[in-house]
């Protein structure tokens, strides 16, 4: 997923701010269109119907807090050994 990409998940319309994939893992930072809420999510995948889902997400009101959480989750993901 590239920055600026817009997609739907569970009735939410989201825009990708940052996204990183390593092997079969990924972590993303998204912004929800309806209220501007930021979401960091792990293991986002595309469903057969064209929508997306993720393993888990953190919902944050502040862009700064969301960026910090994204960097933390990215660092965790990069530390995993397959």
d(CA 39, CA 24): 20
The domain segmentation of the chain, as residue ranges, is 6-79
The structure's pTM equals 0.91
pLDDT for res 82 = 65
The residue behind tokens 């986002």 is: 44
pLDDT along the chain (82 residues), means of 10: 92 95 93 95 91 90 97 92 70
CATH top class, domain 6-79: alpha beta
Give tens-digit pLDDT for 27-50: 999 999 999 999 999 999 998 988
């Amino acid at each position: 997923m590239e920055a600026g990409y817009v997609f739907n998940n569970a009735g939410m319309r989201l825009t990708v701010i940052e996204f990183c994939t390593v092997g079969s893992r990924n972590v993303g930072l998204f912004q929800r269109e309806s209220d501007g809420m930021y979401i960091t999510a792990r293991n986002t995948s595309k469903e057969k119907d064209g929508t997306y889902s993720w393993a888990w997400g953190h919902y944050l009101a502040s862009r700064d807090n969301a960026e910090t959480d994204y960097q933390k989750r990215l660092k965790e993901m990069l530390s995993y050994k397959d």
